[in-house]
Chain A
Amino acid sequence: MTEPRKRHPLGRMIVQRLAIGVFTLFIISVLVFLAVSLLPGDIAQQILGQSATPETVAAMRRDLGLDQPLITRYFHWIGGVLQGDFGKSLANGRPVADLLATRLPNTLFLAAYAAVIAVPLSVLLGLLSAMWRGSWFDRGVNTLSLTAISFPEFFIAYILMYWLSVQWGWFPSMADPGSNPSLMDLVQKAFLPAMTLVLVVSAHMLRMTRAAVVNVLGAPYIAMARLKGVSKWRIITRHALPNALAPIINVIALNVAWLITGVVIVEVVFVYPGLGQLMVDSVTNRDMPVVQACALIFAAVYICINILADVLAIATNPRLLHPR
């Protein structure tokens, strides 16, 4: 890497991806902002109730900045968001940032917990079933993962809760971490929600990993290596894996979408005080500032992880690392 090269395409491609990512984030923030302007009826009227006089409604509108043009309001809002000010909750008047401060770490912990188990597990299983394509192992994994994909997240969650918690009493069914829990405590209490997420995400991830590896194994250079008499493990580790790495990284990033969807439902099932539960509650109450904040955070996390995956996939692509 130290020797000078003429015009390396790597840097330019990475900058390009970053630019696309930032642009996507901008568009999403506009959409999230516009969702409120779509609201039928007037937010000021909603906050004050039907009995409010037109004067107080007008004063409230001025307070909220609703008399400003849309573009001014957007930049005012996004400016606040970038400084960590998400406005006030309509339900209880508390700053949204305070609500997020307690909820976001819980959700990140749960998602990370699930990902740490699910990613190695599903990459390994996907790799093995691609290698032993058509075997009993492959068929078993295929049927099982197809079944897991077909189950609604809450079904898996309640099955786990019924047996592991209610029947056998191994784990608590309600996942409230309480205040200042130790790490072991958290791991124990969040076990069932994390396990549910692992089952949901692994099924998707291992199927996509399998497809990606099968695709690489069908390439002519693998057939060439096999014909040369290279050993099976060497083919996998030296020839297939470096080329399959980029698609696998993308698979992992794509499955963060299932992780986020799963988190929302799993948090509701296990009454886990995270961002997903907050978002669902706020949608029910139509507490728009909170919904906006949650949607923006989920979207930003997802987009950032995908940008990261894109950059990693480019950076680990053997063809791009050795340009002709």
Chain B
Amino acid sequence: MELARTIRSMPFTAMLGIVVIAVYAVVAIFAPLLAPYGEAEIVGAQFEPWGGAFLVGTDNLGRDMLSRLIWGARNTVGVALMTTVLAFLIGSIAGLLAAARRGWVDMILSRIVDILMAVPSLIFTLLALSALGPGVMNLIVVVAIMDSTRVFRLVRATAMNVMVMDYVEAAKLRGEGTWWIIRREVLPNITAPLIAEFGLRFCFAFLTISALSFLGLGLPPPLADWGGMVRDNASLISFGDTTPLLPAACIAVLTVAVNFVVDWLLHRASGLKD
């Protein structure tokens, strides 16, 4: 009944966060069933008002806003999730390698990360995207590399602490290889902080990709994507129409939910009880 106790001790905000994340996941997975119209299907006139056949109206090209919001859950969150996973792969492999090998491997990797972190990541991202050109793959890779710097720092620091433990020394003396030690001794001991970090990195990737889409440099056009939808319909704001705030709110609510859960995880991990 460990689980039941954990759930009961959860603060309200964390509970709310988990429920919201679950709802987003369901919407993203079942988007084709839930959306009344297709993603890029033009079904009405431009900027139709709320109500009637279109619950929250149509967008600048006459596509159903609600359907695009639902499809957006799949595209925007999906791309952000892929980016975060890639960032974790790069960051933790490099971090573990640096912690296990030390010496010049650690030197070189750490200096590269220092350089990447010496400049606001959006500036590097814009520079890289203008050099490489637009495209989903470029977007994912560039944002993932910028995002992986933080993962690297965390993994390296936590793994360093584990590497000096006696049981690692014992494994080394037994003649186990680097990867065996990383897999069996280091990884199980650093997963707790990594889970919280995954949430934070996801928020960063999600907000960065949304911002880039909003700037017109993110997911390519016919795809429904929340940041791009804000951009497409932004002119409505000056006419007192709140429709463009909807996709922005979709982004905000998910990030708030993830942050609430992460905040609780970090609070629990730090051993502070109130």
Contact = CB atoms under 8 A, between A and B. Distances in A.
Interface of A: 24, 27-28, 31-32, 35-36, 38-40, 134, 142-143, 146-147, 149-155, 158-159, 161-162, 166-167, 173, 256-258, 260-261, 264-265, 268-269, 279-280, 282-284, 286, 288, 291-292, 295, 298-299, 302-303, 306
Q: Which 3 A-B pairs have the closest CB atoms?
A: A150-B255, A155-B248, A283-B130
B118 A158 contact: no
A158 B120 contact: no
B131 A36 contact: yes
Nearest to B127: A295
Contacts of A256: 120
Contacts of A32: 127
B260 A146 contact: yes
A35 B127 contact: yes
A265 B119 contact: no
A231 B260 CA distance: 36
Interface string B227-271: 100100010011110101100110110011011100100000000
A269 B234 CA distance: 9
A261 B120 contact: yes
Interface string B91-126: 000000000000000000000001100111111101
Interface in B170-198: none
Interface of B: 13, 114-115, 118-124, 126-133, 203, 207, 210-211, 214-217, 227, 230, 234, 237-240, 242, 244-245, 248-249, 251-252, 255-256, 258-260, 263, 274
Contacts of B130: 35, 282-283, 286, 288, 291
Contacts of A27: 115, 118
22 contacts: A24-B115, A35-B131, A38-B131, A39-B131, A134-B274, A143-B13, A146-B259, A150-B258, A152-B248, A152-B255, A153-B211, A154-B227, A154-B230, A155-B251, A158-B230, A158-B248, A159-B245, A257-B120, A260-B123, A265-B214, A268-B215, A299-B119
Contacts of B245: 155, 158-159, 162
B234 A158 contact: yes
B237 A295 contact: no
A282 to B, nearest CB: 7
B251 A298 contact: no
Contact of A158 (B115, B217, B237): B237
A97 to B, nearest CB: 19
A298 B123 contact: yes
Contacts of B211: 152-154, 261, 265
A144 to B, nearest CB: 11
Nearest to B207: A152
Nearest to A284: B216
A162 B237 contact: yes
Contacts of B252: 150-152, 155
B59 to A, nearest CB: 16
Given A155-B252, A291-B127, A303-B119, 9 more contacts: A24-B115, A28-B119, A150-B259, A152-B252, A155-B249, A158-B245, A280-B126, A299-B119, A302-B119
Given A150-B256, A151-B252, A302 B120 contact: yes
